């Protein structure tokens, strides 16, 4: 497994240093946004190629997060803010027998075939492990993601009271259909910390996911033939 390096901010040169202190000491808050992403082409192409849709969504979200430094931020062991080289997705799997869920994380890779096989390997390995953390060794550079396929929503909020504050975004997906046009729509709800992100950052991340849903549909067809074996953990 790759180790991610943590880079401290130079507080004297960091433009958002004053804002960080204000929102961590005076106005402690997060904010939540929900956006609609058209995923019809991605879903249809993935289905035609025999690809599971959940790993495709995880890949798109992980790519968008890793493309923006503000979404890779965290604290070191001394409580100083900085950012990771990359962020791994930490996602939920559902146990139908007792209606509980477990958290599984997979190593991020920009290559879709490598990422896809990493996720499939971990899902299969830990699918029957119960408890909150099914896969051990969860690193600090993780971002929580989950899906609610059986629930329709237009907005969602994540209320937290953690100390120190949790800086990575929290992402929840839901799938729906606009009946009038027959398009598959993915509702992507993202909760972020106002301490480190402007609302412009949210706009950038949501905007980056839109072309990824289109481009990934094409990329899956090209890369499906060369999917490697999963990495050994």
Residue 200: predicted pLDDT: 46
Average pLDDT over residues 97-111: 96
Residue 166 confidence (pLDDT) above 50: yes
**CATH T-level topology, domain 26-80+87-226:** Chloramphenicol Acetyltransferase (3.30.559)
Residue 71 has pLDDT above 60, yes or no: yes
What integer pLDDT is reported at residue 130 of this predicted model? 95
Residue 25, pLDDT above cutoff 80: yes
Cα–Cα dist 47/69, whole Å: 32
Six-digit token pair at 189? 């709800």
pLDDT value of position 178? 42
pLDDT tops 70 at residue 199: no
More confident residue, 151 or 64: 64
Place of tokens 């120190």: 164
Domain spans in the chain, listed from the N-terminal domain onward = 26-80+87-226
Q: What pLDDT is recorded for position 37?
A: 75
The more confidently predicted of residues 62 and 165 is: 62
- For the segment 100-109, the average pLDDT, to the nearest whole number, is 97
Q: Which of 19-28, 50-59, 159-168 bottoms out in mean pLDDT, i.e. has the lowest?
A: 159-168
pLDDT for residue 135: 97
Residue 120: is its pLDDT beyond 50? Answer: yes
pLDDT band at 225 (very low <50, low <70, confident <90, very high): very low
Q: Positive or negative, the Cα torsion across 123, 171, 206, 70?
A: negative
- Distance, CA of 202 to CA of 210 (rounded, Å): 13
The answer, yes or no, to whether residue 67 has pLDDT greater than 70, is yes
* Most confident range, picked from 120-134, 135-149, 190-204: 120-134
Q: Span 80-93, mean pLDDT?
A: 95
Across 195-210, average pLDDT: 47
Band (133; pLDDT cuts 50, 70, 90): very high
């Amino acid at each position: 497994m790759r180790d991610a390096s943590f880079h401290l901010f130079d507080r004297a040169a960091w433009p958002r240093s004053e804002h960080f202190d204000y929102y961590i000491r005076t106005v402690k808050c997060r904010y939540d946004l929900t956006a609609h992403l058209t995923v019809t082409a991605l879903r249809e192409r993935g289905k035609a190629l025999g690809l599971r849709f959940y790993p495709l969504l995880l890949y798109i979200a992980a790519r968008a997060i890793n493309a923006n430094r503000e979404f890779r931020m965290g604290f070191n062991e001394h409580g100083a803010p900085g950012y990771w080289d990359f962020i791994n997705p930490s996602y939920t799997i559902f146990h139908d027998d007792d209606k509980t869920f477990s958290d599984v994380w997979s190593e991020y890779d920009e290559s879709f075939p490598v990422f896809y096989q990493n996720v499939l390997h971990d899902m299969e390995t830990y699918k029957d492990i119960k408890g909150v953390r099914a896969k051990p060794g969860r690193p600090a550079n993780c971002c929580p993601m989950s899906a609610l396929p059986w629930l329709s929503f237009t907005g969602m909020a994540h209320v937290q009271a953690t100390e120190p504050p949790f800086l990575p975004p929290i992402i929840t997906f839901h799938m729906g259909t606009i009946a009038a046009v027959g398009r598959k729509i993915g509702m992507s709800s993202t909760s972020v910390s106002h301490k480190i992100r402007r609302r412009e950052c949210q706009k950038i991340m949501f905007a980056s996911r839109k072309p990824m849903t289109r481009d990934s549909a094409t990329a899956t067809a090209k890369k499906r033939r060369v999917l490697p074996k999963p990495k050994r953990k």
